[in-house]
Amino acid sequence: MSTLCNLRASAAVAEATWALLIVPGAIGCDKPETDVVFDNRYPASSAIPLVVYRAQWQAVWVDASIPPGSSSAGQISVPASTNTAYVVLAPGWDPASSSVPASFVVMQSTGGFDLHLDTTLHIPIDDTTFTGNCASGSFLSQAQADFITQFIFPGDFASLRYDAATCTTTRIGDAGSP
Q: Nearest-5° angle of CA 55, CA 149, CA 163?
A: 115
Q: Which pLDDT score is estimated for 28?
A: 58
- Chain-centroid distance of CA 122 in Å reads 9
- Chain-centroid distance of CA 21 in Å reads 37
- The phi, psi pair for 77, rounded to 5°, reads -145, -175
Q: Which pLDDT score is estimated for 2?
A: 53
Q: How many CB atoms lie within 10 A of CB 41?
A: 19
pLDDT-derived band at 1, boundaries 50, 70, 90: low
pTM: 0.80
| pLDDT greater than 80 at residue 30 | no
Tell me what the pLDDT averaged over the chain comes to.
86
Q: Which pLDDT score is estimated for 80?
A: 95
Percent of the chain with pLDDT over 70: 81
Q: Each residue of 32-65: pLDDT tens digit?
A: 899 999 999 999 988 999 999 999 999 999 999 9
| pLDDT greater than 60 at residue 125 | yes
Alpha-carbon distance of 154 to 13, in angstroms, equals 58
b/e map 85-109, b = 16+ CB within 10 Å:
bbbbbbbebeeeeeeebeebbbbbb
Mean pLDDT of 15-21: 46
Q: Each residue of 93-123: pLDDT tens digit?
A: 999 988 989 999 999 999 999 999 999 999 9
| pLDDT greater than 50 at residue 12 | no
